[in-house]
Amino acid sequence: KQEVTQIPAALSVPEGENLVLNCSFTDSAIYNLQWFRQDPGKGLTSLLLIQSSQREQTSGRLNASLDKSSGRSTLYIAASQPGDSATYLCAVRAAAGNKLTFGGGTRVLVKP
């Protein structure tokens, strides 16, 4: 059974500092991995999608890496801003069309 873990569970940084969020999964046979952002009381917004054959994806200040063999993904957010404060969730998919298995999330607070 796939298990996804996110460490740390919570993170507080001053504005401008880079953020590093970690995600690990126990079964390396994944189809792809997605990073999401969730604001309080809201749904999930997809940030980055990494296919199993890819090593990283970038979008603006966000960069996500994937090391499938070691079961790890890292989300980097450069030059953090107070608006980046949210919960970040990673999730893995075993095959196309299959359900996602989520990690517990990392709650991020960026202090002005």
Partner 1 sequence: GAVVSQHPSWVICKSGTSVKIECRSLDFQATTMFWYRQFPKQSLMLMATSNEGSKATYEQGVEKDKFLINHASLTLSTLTVTSAHPEDSSFYICSASSPMGTEAFFGQGTRLTVV
Closest distance of CB 16 from partner 1, Å: 27
Torsion angle, CA of 61/62/67/70, rounded to 10 degrees? 110
Cα-based angle 17, 59, 42 (whole degrees, multiple of 5): 80
**Per-residue contact track with partner 1, 39 to 68, x per CB under 8 A?**
--xxxxxx--x-x-----------------
Closest distance of CB 35 from partner 1, Å: 12
83 lines the binding site for partner 1 (CB under 8 A): no
85 lines the binding site for partner 1 (CB under 8 A): no
- Residue 76, Cβ density class (10 Å: 0-12 exposed, 13-18 middle, ≥19 buried): middle
- Interface residue with partner 1 among 19, 21, 33, 36 (CB under 8 A) is 36
Binding part of the chain for partner 1, among 15-23, 31-39, 60-68, 70-78 by CB under 8 A, reads 31-39
Nearest of 105, 93, 91 to residue 11 by alpha carbon: 105
User: Are 101 and 36 a contacting pair, CB within 8 Å?
Assistant: no
Other Cβ atoms less than 10 A from the Cβ of 73: the count is 27
94 lines the binding site for partner 1 (CB under 8 A): no
Closest distance of CB 44 from partner 1, Å: 4
Residue 83 DSSP one-character state: G
Closest distance of CB 39 from partner 1, Å: 10
